[in-house]
């Protein structure tokens, strides 16, 4: 058995370029394998340049970046943190790591991200109960900007600091500015299936120099400035290795190209499949927003087609094509049973009706045709 099936069309496989190996070679030749090294500095500089944020800290996962970011915002045991329900579990798990509790908010139908009206309702309702959330996590799901202007205005009005989970949104923009640069803290993931990858990794960005230093210290076991190992604070082993940062450097040079390619893939699907009964594409860009189209997603309307997303997924499997349901909302997860939830109908409906299609930036037109032909077999025009 081979570990990889070369005929299989994967959802979002890694797509390396020509320069990653050079950075790896150099790191090994110069013996900069661990623990720090020039690739880490260079990778962090690349991130700052691409996002316009002053400071970046490279970590071993996006989840670690969210964990440190929430701690920077002061999240502590007993606190509540506002969070969209429609997201990957990694957005919310660090809330629990810190002994705090998530309060979930529904999506709106255009961007599929946090609904500003529901957010306001939640903040007003919590205020009536004297519950003041410590932080708000925003997510730009599938690389689609949320309705940032409205949400940031509400957050400011209620005095809640924002962490921006841009794990899926590297290279996407809002009003011409990089996503991840709007919150007090921003987070990116370089996990294997994201738009760029270091095989595994994450980055925390902030304009606050003290916070960047603090995050770096926590990520490296929070060692005091002493010749021996002395620790006053709780730390973690969260730093990215200099080797993997080398892959990141090679990848960062490809960002624009990868965004262009993913957007073309989405446009291709839309052009070639729109019009099939009950099938539509989404989410849609808000005013001022430009998605990176990390994953191309479709929705099926049960009033217009008898085919369910699960039937379509299994049909694509018979063609050795991987597809995947949309994220299952967190308020429906056994892990978060009993959590406070504001709304829920929108994200539950999206979950019930949606499917993510192969969207890797190395896809060729013949690959796209293979997916489209398979879909047409089961949903004829
Ligand atoms: C991938 C992802 C994360 C976590 O990133 P890792 O690098 O896998 O830890 C967090 N939030 C969202 C929305 C993600 O898609």
Interval 8-49: pLDDT, tens: 999 999 999 889 999 998 888 888 776 678 999 999 999 999
pLDDT of residue 29: 87
User: Which domain range does residue 371 map to?
Assistant: 3-11+256-378
Q: Is the pLDDT of residue 318 over 80?
A: yes
Q: What is the domain-level CATH number for residue 29?
A: 3.40.640.10
Sign of the CA dihedral with 281 first, then 329, 66, and 101 last: positive
Is the beta carbon of 170 within 6 A of some atom in ligand 1? Answer: no
Is the beta carbon of 101 within 6 A of some atom in ligand 1? Answer: no
Q: What is the domain-level CATH number for residue 276?
A: 3.90.1150.10
CA of 192 to the centre of ligand 1 (A): 10
pLDDT tens digits along 48-71 = 999 999 999 999 999 999 999 999
227 and 287 fall within a common domain: no
CA of 190 to the centre of ligand 1 (A): 8
165 and 204 fall within a common domain: yes
340 and 208 fall within a common domain: no
| Strands 185-189 and 202-206, sheet pairing | antiparallel
Is the beta carbon of 191 within 6 A of some atom in ligand 1? Answer: yes
Please give the tally of structural domains in the chain.
2
Residue ending a domain, among 253, 285, 309, is 253
CA of 312 to the centre of ligand 1 (A): 26
Compute φ and ψ for 66, nearest 5 degrees. -65, -40
170 and 92 fall within a common domain: yes
CA of 209 to the centre of ligand 1 (A): 24
Q: Residue 224 has which token pair?
A: 């005091």
User: By alpha-carbon position, which residue is closest to atom 8 of ligand 1?
Assistant: 191
Residue ending a domain, among 199, 219, 253, is 253
Is the beta carbon of 57 within 6 A of some atom in ligand 1? Answer: no
273 and 224 fall within a common domain: no
**Predicted structure pTM score:** 0.97
State mean pLDDT over 179-190. 98
Closest ligand 1 atom to 193 CA? 1
Q: Is the pLDDT of residue 2 over 60?
A: no
Is the beta carbon of 46 within 6 A of some atom in ligand 1? Answer: no
213 and 302 fall within a common domain: no
Residue the block writes with tokens 């293979």: 370
Residue ending a domain, among 253, 273, 307, is 253
166 and 111 fall within a common domain: yes
pLDDT tens digits along 261-289 = 999 999 999 999 999 999 999 999 999 99
Dist CA 269 CA 267 (whole Å): 6
pLDDT tens digits along 282-315 = 999 999 999 999 999 999 999 999 999 999 999 9
pLDDT of residue 35: 67
Is the beta carbon of 165 within 6 A of some atom in ligand 1? Answer: yes
350 touches 87 (CB < 8 A): no
192 and 87 fall within a common domain: yes
Q: Which of 248, 259, 63 is nearest to 163 (CA)?
A: 63
35 and 166 fall within a common domain: yes
How far from each other are the two terminal CA atoms of the chain, in whole angstroms? 39
């Amino acid at each position: 058995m081979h570990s990889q099936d070369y005929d299989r069309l994967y959802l979002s496989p890694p797509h390396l370029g020509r320069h990653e190996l050079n950075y790896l070679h150099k790191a090994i030749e110069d013996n900069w394998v661990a623990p720090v090294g020039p690739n880490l500095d260079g990778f962090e500089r690349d991130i700052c340049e691409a996002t316009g944020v002053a400071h970046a800290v490279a970590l071993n996962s996006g989840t670690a970046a969210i964990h440190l970011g929430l701690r920077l915002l002061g999240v502590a045991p007993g606190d509540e943190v506002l969070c969209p329900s429609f997201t990957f579990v990694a957005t919310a798990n660090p809330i629990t790591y810190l002994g705090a509790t998530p309060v979930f908010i529904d999506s709106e139908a255009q961007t599929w991200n946090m609904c500003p009206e529901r957010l306001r309702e939640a903040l007003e309702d919590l205020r009536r109960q004297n519950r003041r959330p410590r932080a708000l996590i925003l997510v730009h799901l599938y690389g689609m900007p949320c309705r940032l202007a409205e949400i940031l205005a509400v957050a400011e009005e209620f005095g809640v600091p924002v962490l921006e989970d841009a794990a899926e949104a590297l290279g996407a923009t809002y009003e011409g500015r990089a996503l991840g640069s709007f919150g007090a803290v921003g987070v990116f993931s370089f996990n294997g299936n994201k738009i760029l990858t270091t095989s595994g990794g994450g980055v925390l960005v902030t304009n606050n120099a003290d916070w960047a230093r603090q995050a770096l210290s926590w990520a490296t076991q929070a060692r005091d400035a002493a010749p021996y190992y002395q620790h006053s604070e709780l730390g973690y082993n969260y730093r990215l290795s200099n080797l993997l940062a080398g892959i990141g450097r090679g990848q960062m040079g490809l960002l624009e190209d990868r965004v262009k390619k993913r957007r073309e893939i989405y446009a291709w699907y839309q052009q070639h499949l729109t019009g099939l009964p009950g099938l539509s594409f989404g989410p849609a860009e808000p005013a001022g927003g430009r998605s990176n189209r990390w994953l191309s997603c479709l929705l099926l309307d049960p009033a217009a087609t008898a085919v369910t997303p699960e039937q379509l997924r299994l049909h694509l499997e018979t063609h050795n094509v991987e597809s995947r349901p949309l994220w299952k909302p967190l308020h429906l997860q056994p892990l978060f049973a009993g959590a406070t939830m504001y709304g829920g109908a929108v994200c539950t409906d999206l979950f019930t009706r949606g499917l993510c299609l192969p969207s890797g930036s190395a896809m060729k037109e013949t690959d796209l045709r293979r997916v489209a032909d398979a879909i047409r077999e089961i949903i004829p025009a």
